Amino acid sequence: MTVEDLLQALDRKDNTEAYQALLELERLSSDSNVLYPYTEKFAEMTESDRNVVRVRGVRLFCSQAKWDSGSMIDRFLDQVLSVLQDDRPTTVRQTLAALQDVVRYKPELRDKVIEAADKIDVSRYKDTMQGLLIGDIGRLHDMIDRNDE
């Protein structure tokens, strides 16, 4: 499959196919900057009506932080951070995990990421999810603390 084929598969109703495309695109993102030109598209995906598309957009957007030479991450970060207010705690958790790439590769954006993470009202989610979300937020703080040393 070409990159274009993989990108088109991200929006398919067949979640198995779309998830496999996501994994392949994430693999490509870790190895090279071939997807960096699509960073704005990934940011746009975070505004989809479909939860799974939002999450895919967040994950791919954040994975471009490693290659961000044109400040695309800076430009669209607020839009992506809005996903932290999602009604689905699993979406918020995946977003927090993906943001670790931004924290790792874009130190100048750490304060903005942490500020948004700290504004998450975990009490709005089921008790079983609250501790997990608090732990995810704590991991972001720990990453920053380790990198500031």
Which residues make Cβ contacts (< 8 Å) with residue 133, sequence separation at least 6? 89, 92, 93, 96, 120, 122, 125
- At 87-110, the pLDDT tens digits run 999 999 999 999 999 999 999 999
- pLDDT tens profile 6-21: 999 998 888 999 999 9
- Asked if residue 54 lies in contact with residue 91, where contact means CB atoms within 8 angstroms, the answer is yes
pLDDT at residue 148 in the model: 64
Would you call 17 helix, strand, or coil by DSSP?
helix
The Cα–Cα gap between 64 and 32 comes to 9
Residue-wise pLDDT tens digits, 48-84: 999 999 999 999 999 999 999 999 999 999 999 999 9
What is the residue-averaged pLDDT of the chain? 95
